[in-house]
Amino acid sequence: MAKYRIVSRGSLVTIKSKLSLGEQINEREINVFERQLFRGCFRPRQEGKKIIIYTAPDVIELGAYLKNGLEEDV
């Protein structure tokens, strides 16, 4: 199982994941996520053979989001 660390600074959230012994990065699949921007997904970046760093799109804290109110579609 990979070890990971989550860092949140302002509106930037990153996750650093280090793979365990015997685990490998599927480079073909990670290249798809690096090239394409999927709305709401973390963007991965490979660092070496065992580390993946995921960066979140611009985020807003849940409390601040809920304070703005929610719109109801009828």
On the question of pLDDT at 28 being above 80, the answer is: yes
Q: How far is CA 71 from the centre of its chain?
A: 27
pLDDT, residue 18, reads 92
pTM: 0.64
Percent of the chain residues topping a pLDDT of 70: 92
